[in-house]
């Protein structure tokens, strides 16, 4: 019997099990006592959790147990209220341990479009979820030669006031989510409707002290409640605008006088979301949700390689790129005497309309005056199902079985247009595998996974897991994981885990029709002298792999608690643009491909300390120290991140209505790269500049006049510490982004 035949039948059997979980439950029901789990006991995302009923602890699912792992932290709605982000949730997420804002490489080529990075693994290895569903709209944006995209990422699709909490899973705990979660997962969980009618309206404004920096203003509303005894609704929407920095904000600091080193671009956001939740039986709920978001930029002059020109300068202040995201989903939740089920079907459409960008030489990433506008379209259809079964077979445990299917389709006529750079004649491409007529690429995959949360006595819980992914292009991948926790004493516990995580090549890296050309910056010296080189997609790539490990101690004394965690990721097959020719054309030009590089190492330490100084005064501090984040062959950094980061917050609840918060962050040194990964040439060390350690402080105060009206005012960057972007890594080292100066903000919320 062939392996394909066996796998096909295994898949059918597995799906049948999910579609009728009662059958599986009946086979084990005699082996254990039933433990009912009520819907009212669930957190806002509807997933089961460990409950304490009197003296009896009911074991939770593996997913819930993993939220107690050492590499997990939670941001609550109250945290967001006390420190409201100006524009993007990344502003508050970055204050958690193991979190950075950075680009996807050390090139600095999109320096001010920094995204969330977890444990130094890069933004492309950080999976963003919204209510447990992956958000991957950035994949509709062209992937550049250096590995960066002109995108703000996935953390600005939900207004801050609509967030119930944000769960951050770093390291082994994130492996269950499959491709793209090697660094970790950030789950943005929105507020669900309740059995009472509620509404709110929030207005926020922030204005910088420096007139050259962009001001912000936003407003959003929420209305939710019951329509009938079994039907509830929620609708929210928001408008948000942040102005761009002045075009010449970095003029005095930029390393190359004749370049255009842009500041932070602006953005206009429009968001609307609607949810219907129908509890059609006491045990079952069906959610129908639709959302639409539009993000349009306000161009500040960024061109990836800082190339200026009359046309680029004429675009400053205009809208050159628009991303529209539409999402539709149906989610079924079941809470039965024998266990729980969760199934969802989601369809996302992302449209990225932008001025056509150059794909060759120094013009790569720069808007082109002659080619007009193009729109790329990315469609993702995802189906997931899982069943959670409490068992008493040898030990108390909760078994999770699940499956997932994903279909991706991208049509990008701008980046995959008929290639004018290909030197072929008579309509026949010279580069093998290149089609001059195809602008579309697709991929499909499915996954099966199993996890078991097992209680070994009263002090030890282990959570083994196994996930199998099968990709139509890259075949099968096994992702085993093992997490454990042990209560050493009533106050001291030890926790750890190990997991194999992976990431498949993206739709640009694997597509041979995605063709870039360079006469210098992308080629080594010998190839540049022979007419330049081409970079093409490569269907023979292997998935990126990382073996993630962590171990930590946690001490909880009640009014104070602390923890320390060591983590290590052994990373291999990272996909980079090769600087060695795969073959040569008849005219002497080289053809390069995306390739799997050698091993990399990421390791560090995270720590937390919480102290309740008084009933009304709390101190919360966390530390991240990066021991390594480097390519082991070259010693080069994977991205530009601080050597260490310390975040501290002092919260004072002065009265029932009045509160104050003082916050501070101190960033360690950010070292400049020494090697140009595109050309394999060393940078001029005299031009390379590190970012010296620096600190930021914030101060805010809130007052609740009554249950229907509250205000908050504050100052960001109290000490007015500013950083100016000087260029890309080639001429500015690590000084490739702006840190805005002092700004004042105010927020007003009215609700009923």
DSSP secondary structure, 224-265, as one string = EEESSSSEEEEEEEEEEEEPPPPTTTTTTT-SSTTS------
Bridge partners for 534 per DSSP: 517, 591
The CA-CA-CA angle for residues 127, 509, 498, to 5°, reads 40
CB 664 within 8 A of CB 717: no
Q: Where are the domains of the chain?
A: 31-751
Query: How does pLDDT run across 257-284, given as a tens digit for each residue?
Result: 888 899 999 999 999 999 999 999 999 9
662 three-class SS = strand
Structure tokens at 608: 């937390």
CB 166 within 8 A of CB 93: yes
Question: Can you say how many angstroms the Cα of residue 144 is from the centroid of all Cα atoms in its chain?
Answer: 18
Bridge partners for 425 per DSSP: 428
Structure tokens at 278: 């129908």
The beta strands (E) that lie in 48-148 are given as 51-53, 56-58, 72-76, 99-102, 115-118, 126-130, 133-134
- Residue 573: CB atoms within 10 A of its CB come to 19
Per DSSP, 37 falls in state -
CB 665 within 8 A of CB 739: no
600 sits in which H/E element: strand 600-614
What is the maximal distance between C-alpha atoms in the chain? Answer: 80
Model pLDDT, residue 561:
97
11 sits in which H/E element: helix 3-19
The DSSP string of 458-481 is: TTEEEEEEEEEEEETTTEEEEEEE
- Residue 752: CB atoms within 10 A of its CB come to 10
Model pLDDT, residue 518:
79
Model pLDDT, residue 339:
97
State the helix-helix crossing angle for 21-29 and 3-19, rounded to 10 degrees.
80
Model pLDDT, residue 563:
97
Q: Distance (Å, rounded) from C-alpha 386 to C-alpha 467?
A: 13
Model pLDDT, residue 403:
98
Q: Distance (Å, rounded) from C-alpha 479 to C-alpha 502?
A: 8
Q: Distance (Å, rounded) from C-alpha 118 to C-alpha 183?
A: 5
Q: How many CA atoms lie within 13 A of 147 on its CB side?
A: 24
Per DSSP, 61 falls in state -
What is the rounded radius of gyration, in angstroms, for the C-alpha atoms of the chain?
26
Q: Distance (Å, rounded) from C-alpha 499 to C-alpha 545?
A: 11
Model pLDDT, residue 482:
98
- Residue 127: CB atoms within 10 A of its CB come to 24
Positive/negative CA dihedral, 247, 253, 258, 261:
negative
Model pLDDT, residue 8:
40
Strands 184-190 and 126-130: parallel
Model pLDDT, residue 423:
57
- Residue 264: CB atoms within 10 A of its CB come to 25
CB 668 within 8 A of CB 693: yes
Contact residues for 13 (Cβ-Cβ < 8 A; gap 6+):
none
CA distances from 195 to 189, 223, 279, 690 (A): 19, 12, 12, 55
Bridge partners for 533 per DSSP: 518, 590
- Residue 8: CB atoms within 10 A of its CB come to 11
CATH architecture of 31-751: Beta Barrel (2.40)
Backbone angles phi, psi at 414, to 5 degrees: -75, -45
Backbone angles phi, psi at 313, to 5 degrees: -65, -30
Backbone angles phi, psi at 497, to 5 degrees: -170, 160
CB 634 within 8 A of CB 675: yes
Q: Which residues of the chain have pLDDT under 70?
A: 1-58, 360-362, 370-371, 417-430, 436, 520-522, 524-531, 679
The CA-CA-CA angle for residues 257, 258, 261, to 5°, reads 75
- The residue with tokens 């039933």 is 34
Positive/negative CA dihedral, 124, 126, 129, 133:
positive
Measure the N-to-C terminal CA separation of the chain; round to a whole number of Å.
65
Q: How many CA atoms lie within 13 A of 644 on its CB side?
A: 10
């Amino acid at each position: 019997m062939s392996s394909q035949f066996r796998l096909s039948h295994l898949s059918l059997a597995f799906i049948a099990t999910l579609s009728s979980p009662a059958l599986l439950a009946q086979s084990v029901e005699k082996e254990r006592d039933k433990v009912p789990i009520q819907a009212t006991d669930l957190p806002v995302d509807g997933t089961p959790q460990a409950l304490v009923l009197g003296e009896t602890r009911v074991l939770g699912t593996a997913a819930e147990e993993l939220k107690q792992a050492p590499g997990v932290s939670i941001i609550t709605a109250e945290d967001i209220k006390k420190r409201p982000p100006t524009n993007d949730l990344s502003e508050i997420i970055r204050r958690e341990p193991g979190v950075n804002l950075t680009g996807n490489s050390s090139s600095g080529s999109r320096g001010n479009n920094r995204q969330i990075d977890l444990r130094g693994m890069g933004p492309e290895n950080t999976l963003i979820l919204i209510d447990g569903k992956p958000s991957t709209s950035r994949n509709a944006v062209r992937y550049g030669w250096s590995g960066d995209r002109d995108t703000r990422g996935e953390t600005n699709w939900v207004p801050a006031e609509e967030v119930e909490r944000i769960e951050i899973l770093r390291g082994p705990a994130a492996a269950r989510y499959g491709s793209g979660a090697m660094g970790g997962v950030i789950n943005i969980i929105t507020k669900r409707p309740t059995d009472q009618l509620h509404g709110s309206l929030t207005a926020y404004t922030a204005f910088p002290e420096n007139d050259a920096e962009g001001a912000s203003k936003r407003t959003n509303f929420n209305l939710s409640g019951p329509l009938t005894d079994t039907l509830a609704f929620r609708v929210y929407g928001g408008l948000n605008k942040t102005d761009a920095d002045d075009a010449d904000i970095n003029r005095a600091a930029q390393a190359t006088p004749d370049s255009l080193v842009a500041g932070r671009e602006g953005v206009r956001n429009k968001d609307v979301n609607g949810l219907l939740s129908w509890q059609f039986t006491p045990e079952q709920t069906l959610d129908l949700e639709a959302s639409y978001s539009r993000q349009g930029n306000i161009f500040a002059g960024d061109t990836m390689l800082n190339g200026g020109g009359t046309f680029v300068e004429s675009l400053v202040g205009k809208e050159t790129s628009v991303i529209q995201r539409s999402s539709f989903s149906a989610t079924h939740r079941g809470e039965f005497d024998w266990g729980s089920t969760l199934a969802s079907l989601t369809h996302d459409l992302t449209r990225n309309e932008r001025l056509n960008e150059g794909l060759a030489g120094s013009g790569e990433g720069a808007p082109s005056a002659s080619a007009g506008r193009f729109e790329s379209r990315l469609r993702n259809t995802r189906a997931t199902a899982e069943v959670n079964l409490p068992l008493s077979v040898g030990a108390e445990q909760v078994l999770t079985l699940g499956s997932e299917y994903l279909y991706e389709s991208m049509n990008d006529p701008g980046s995959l247009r008929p290639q004018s750079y290909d030197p072929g004649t008579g309509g026949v491409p010279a580069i093998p595998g290149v089609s001059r007529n195809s602008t579309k690429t697709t991929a499909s995959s499915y996954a099966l996974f199993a996890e078991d949360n097992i209680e070994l006595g009263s002090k030890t819980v282990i959570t083994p897991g196994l996930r199998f992914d099968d990709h139509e292009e890259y075949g099968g991948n096994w992702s085993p994981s093992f997490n454990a926790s042990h209560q050493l004493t009533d106050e001291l516990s030890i926790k750890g885990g190990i997991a194999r995580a992976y990431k498949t090549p993206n739709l640009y890296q694997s597509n041979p029709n995605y063709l870039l050309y360079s006469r210098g910056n992308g080629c080594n010296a010998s190839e540049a002298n022979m007419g330049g080189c081409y970079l093409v997609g490569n269907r023979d790539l292997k998935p990126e792999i990382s073996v993630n490990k962590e171990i930590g101690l946690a001490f909880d004394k009640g009014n104070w608690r602390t923890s320390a965690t060591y983590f290590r990721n052994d990373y291999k097959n990272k996909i980079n643009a090769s600087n060695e020719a795969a073959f040569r054309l008849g005219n002497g030009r080289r053809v390069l491909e995306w390739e799997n590089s050698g091993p990399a190492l990421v390791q560090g330490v995270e720590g937390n300390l919480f102290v309740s100084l008084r009933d009304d005064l709390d101190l919360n501090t966390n530390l991240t120290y990066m021991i390594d984040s480097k390519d082991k062959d070259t010693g080069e950094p994977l991205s530009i991140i601080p050597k260490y980061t310390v975040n501290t917050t002092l919260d004072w609840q002065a009265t029932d209505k009045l509160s104050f918060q003082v916050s501070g962050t101190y960033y360690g040194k950010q070292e400049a790269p020494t090697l140009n990964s595109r050309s394999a040439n060393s940078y001029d060390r005299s031009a390379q500049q590190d970012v010296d350690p620096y600190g930021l402080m914030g101060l805010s105060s809130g007052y609740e006049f009554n249950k229907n009206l509250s205000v908050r005012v504050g100052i960001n960057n109290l000490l007015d510490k500013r950083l100016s972007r000087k260029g890309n890594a080639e001429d500015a080292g690590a000084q490739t982004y702006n840190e805005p100066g002092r700004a004042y903000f105010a927020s007003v919320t009215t609700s009923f």
